[in-house]
Amino acid sequence: MRRNFFVAAAAAALFIAPPLSNALLAEQAAPAGAAAQAPASPPAGTPAGGRAIQGGGGQGGGGTPPADGRQGGGGRGGGRGGRGGAPAGPAPRNAQGRALLTTATPAEKGVWTPNFSITAPLAPANTVPFMDWSKALWQDREKNELEPHTRCKPSGVARQFLTPYGVEFVEIPDLQQIYIFDIGGPHTYRIVYMDGRAHPKDFTPTYYGHSTGKWEGDTLVVDSVGFNESFCFVRRGLPHTEKLHTIEKFTRTDSNTINYEATIDDPGAYTNQWTGKFTLGLSAGQELFEYVCQQDNKATELMVGDFKSVDRSSDFIP
């Protein structure tokens, strides 16, 4: 009975995205010939000092690689052509000339997936300003992931994009909202409010937090607070607290590439703010599909690690 409930709830959510996408893309799409050359990718910067989050670059793809050789940030993107085989062209634009995070027309399908290994860290470990407790917890999670995402829980910030199935952006100008649909995992969606509202003073912390956004040229800048501690905000299990405050930037550089950058400010877990980045590539011809996370998901390597057992009644999740 419980399993049937989860399956039915997940399936019901799947009917939302395709109608919205088709109807709204037609409204956003620019007339023929309106596309213009996308701006160049912003240069990498350095972490900003102080507690207030700065908008600038970061260290996701730079710095000295950690001792184990893992790389952070970066990616293959760079306009080398989408996964559907089409060479990169200019970013599609709306009637006002601003780059879209969606495809150009309803007839063109596509979702966004990482342009690098989905298990790569957001930034090299030796550039992350850990506190002692957060570093110790991260090191334990490297061996014993027990990641909530494998139990079909929503995962905010960068983790939402680090799946093999990708995400789809849907902008609704009339509501002044942008939806980010997560195709795999919990198959949920995140709302970015574009109407200029402030974050609420009192709220219940959630997996995605409360997000407000604005456009700076062709870059969507998303400010988020109000996270709970029940998820991992990156694939490699970096800790966070309810003090987490993030600034994310999404820049459509060409038809096949979005540059993603996240500035992390959590005075409960890190001694300073820090920034990581990666690129998303367009998987042309793909779109949202039915996905039931609860169905026969074993993923034992992400649930057990070095532990001999976990608190569950069977191999199935949940």
DSSP 61-106: T-SPPPTT----S--S-TTS--TTSPPP-PPPBBTTSPBPSS-SST
Are residues 154 and 188 in contact, defined by beta-carbon separation less than 8 angstroms? yes
Using one digit for the tens of pLDDT, what is the confidence trace for 168-196?
999 999 999 999 998 877 778 999 999 99
Are residues 207 and 233 in contact, defined by beta-carbon separation less than 8 angstroms? no
What was the pLDDT predicted at 83? 58
Answer whether residue 243 shows pLDDT above 50.
yes
Alpha carbons 222 and 179: distance in angstroms, whole number = 12
Q: What is the percent of the chain with per-residue pLDDT over 90, rounded to a whole number?
A: 47
pLDDT-derived band at 113 (thresholds 50, 70, 90) equals: very high
Residue with the larger pLDDT of the pair 243 and 48: 243
What was the pLDDT predicted at 230? 93
Tell me which amino acid residue 106 is: P
Using one digit for the tens of pLDDT, what is the confidence trace for 144-163?
877 888 778 888 999 999 88
Using one digit for the tens of pLDDT, what is the confidence trace for 46-78?
333 333 443 333 323 333 323 333 333 333 333
Residue with the larger pLDDT of the pair 107 and 196: 196
Using one digit for the tens of pLDDT, what is the confidence trace for 258-317?
999 999 999 999 999 999 999 999 999 888 888 777 655 555 555 555 555 555 444 444
- Number of C-alpha atoms within 13 angstroms, CB side, residue 39? 15
Q: What is the percent of the chain with per-residue pLDDT over 70, rounded to a whole number?
A: 65
What was the pLDDT predicted at 38? 36
pLDDT-derived band at 247 (thresholds 50, 70, 90) equals: very high
What was the pLDDT predicted at 239? 95
Are residues 54 and 263 in contact, defined by beta-carbon separation less than 8 angstroms? yes
What was the pLDDT predicted at 132? 98
The radius of gyration computed from the CA coordinates of the chain, to the nearest angstrom, equals 19
Alpha carbons 206 and 124: distance in angstroms, whole number = 27
What was the pLDDT predicted at 206? 96
pLDDT-derived band at 91 (thresholds 50, 70, 90) equals: very high
Alpha carbons 244 and 242: distance in angstroms, whole number = 5
Tell me which amino acid residue 262 is: A
Least confident of 34-38, 87-91, 196-200, 218-222: 34-38
DSSP the chain: -HHHHHHHHHHHHTTSHHHHHHHHHHHHBPPTT---PPPPPPPP--PPPSSSPP-S---TT-SPPPTT----S--S-TTS--TTSPPP-PPPBBTTSPBPSS-SSTT--EEEEESS-TTS-SS-GGGS-B-HHHHHHHHHHHH----GGGGT----GGGGG-SSS-EEEEEETTTTEEEEEE-STT--EEEEE-S-PPPPSS---BSS-EEEEEEETTEEEEEEE-B-SSS-SSTT-----TT-EEEEEEEEEETTEEEEEEEEE-TTTBSS-EEEEEEEEEEET-------TTSS---HHHHTTT-S--S-SSSS--
Rounded to two decimals, what is the model's pTM? 0.70
With CA atoms as reference, report the closest residue to 112 among 247, 305, 288.
288
